């Protein structure tokens, strides 16, 4: 069937020039307008034309690079792509800078052969997943890392967040801690929800605490050093002798919160991080943490994307990898029965 711009323009209620810009992946087209043109293509029975792509380019979209685990993951994927003859194009979101949608449009406009999204909007349960449907209609292969959504048809790669929290709680319970807190980011994110589930199960399994009673031991904040400091401070006020954090950066904030109160880590407060970011073994004290399987995750994400690009896509499922507890110097024996309130110390 010969594609007629005039027919598509009439169906979408836009000009032929706008249709041409959408079909060519041009930037500057409003999302609603682009959606209208893509809907018109479907209605008229046209397929989105496969543009000539620069097959050597593969996009990697990551959040800000303040958290060391993101550049570490990008490095693993970049090396894997380079070994296979591709050139990685790193596109990083920054506060007040380009959004995920803008970065995606830029990469598609450059003709990338595929895209890996790391901890993107796919992990946000409140975000519109239609953006990924549009990308699939454009015939751009993609893989999603950290955060699963059954509404998106794509391969996913994630660490087992539930198992990670059970490992952390088991470790602290074995050390004698009975009042264990959890510091993490906003609840709308899938990894956060899974960590909460695993934390509740761990408290019940290792300490006999009913799941519904774990609420006061969970504190939401921001995924940052300052966020970890605020969350840990609140948990210390609730008598916690140990805090599990959703990132190493938050864990460093928890250490700061303890020291500002004159508490020693791990003497008065044990702290567990998450990620095992580069250099975290050299902090003061060296951080006990849950190691994300970064190398395996990056390699699997690249392998899945290359299969997508080759036309033999892997299962539209989630590859879940087991994390590892790395015990260092920020955890130690805790008092049976919990910590006394700080003002009674």
In a domain, 25, yes or no: yes
Report the pLDDT value the prediction gives residue 338, as an integer from 0 to 100: 44
CATH code assigned at 32: 1.10.260.40
CATH code assigned at 303: 3.40.50.2300
Contact 87, 111 (CB under 8 A): no
Domain check: are 104 and 68 in the same one?
yes
Domain check: are 182 and 248 in the same one?
yes
In a domain, 341, yes or no: no
Residue numbers of the chain with a pLDDT score lower than 70:
1-3, 24-28, 31, 47-55, 336-345
Domain check: are 149 and 93 in the same one?
yes
Domain check: are 168 and 154 in the same one?
no
Note the pLDDT tens digit of each residue in 145-186.
999 999 999 999 999 999 999 999 999 999 999 999 999 999
pTM for this predicted structure: 0.81
Report the pLDDT value the prediction gives residue 326, as an integer from 0 to 100: 97
In a domain, 23, yes or no: yes
Domain check: are 23 and 71 in the same one?
no
Cα-Cα-Cα-Cα dihedral of 233, 236, 238, 243, to 10°?
100
Report the pLDDT value the prediction gives residue 78, as an integer from 0 to 100: 95
Domain check: are 170 and 275 in the same one?
yes
Domain check: are 168 and 286 in the same one?
yes
How many structural domains are present in the chain? 3
In a domain, 71, yes or no: yes
Rounded CA separation 185/178 (Å): 23
Contact 315, 143 (CB under 8 A): no
Domain check: are 283 and 303 in the same one?
no
Domain check: are 189 and 285 in the same one?
yes
In a domain, 338, yes or no: no
Which domain does 274 fall in, by range?
161-291
324-326/288-291 β-pairing: antiparallel
In a domain, 287, yes or no: yes
Domain check: are 116 and 232 in the same one?
no
Domain check: are 278 and 205 in the same one?
yes
Domain check: are 145 and 67 in the same one?
yes
In a domain, 103, yes or no: yes
In a domain, 336, yes or no: no
């Amino acid at each position: 069937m010969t594609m007629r711009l005039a027919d598509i323009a009439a169906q979408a209620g836009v000009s032929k020039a706008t249709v041409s810009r959408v079909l060519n992946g041009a930037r500057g087209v409003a999302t609603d307008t682009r959606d209208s043109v893509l809907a018109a293509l479907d209605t008229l029975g046209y397929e989105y034309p496969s543009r000539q792509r620069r097959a050597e380019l593969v996009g990697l979209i990551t959040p800000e690079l303040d958290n060391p685990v993101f550049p570490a993951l990008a490095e693993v994927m970049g090396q894997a792509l380079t070994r296979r003859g591709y050139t990685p194009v790193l596109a990083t979101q920054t506060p007040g800078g380009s959004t995920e949608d803008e970065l995606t449009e830029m990469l598609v406009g450059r003709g990338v052969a595929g895209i890996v999204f790391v901890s993107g909007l796919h992990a946000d349960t409140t975000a519109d997943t239609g953006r990924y449907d549009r990308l699939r209609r454009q015939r751009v292969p993609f893989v999603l890392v950290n955060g699963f959504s059954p509404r998106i048809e794509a391969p996913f790669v994630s660490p087992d967040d539930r198992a990670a929290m059970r490992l952390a709680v088991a470790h602290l319970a074995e050390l004698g801690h009975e009042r264990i807190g959890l510091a993490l980011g906003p609840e709308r994110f899938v990894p956060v929800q899974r960590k909460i589930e695993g934390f509740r199960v761990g408290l019940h399994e290792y300490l006999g605490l009913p799941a519904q009673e774990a609420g006061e031991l969970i504190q939401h904040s921001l995924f940052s050093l300052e966020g970890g400091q605020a969350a840990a401070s609140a948990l210390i006020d609730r008598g916690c002798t140990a805090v599990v954090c959703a990132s190493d950066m938050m864990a460093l904030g928890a250490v700061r919160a303890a020291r500002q109160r004159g508490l020693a880590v791990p003497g008065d407060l044990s702290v567990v991080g998450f990620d095992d970011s580069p250099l975290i073994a050299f902090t003061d004290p060296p951080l006990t943490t849950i190691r994300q399987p970064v190398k395996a995750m990056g390699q699997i994400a690249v392998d899945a994307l290359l299969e997508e690009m080759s036309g033999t896509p892997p299962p539209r499922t989630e590859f879940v990898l087991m994390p590892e507890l790395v015990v260092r110097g920020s955890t130690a024996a805790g008092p049976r029965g919990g910590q006394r309130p700080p003002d009674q110390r």
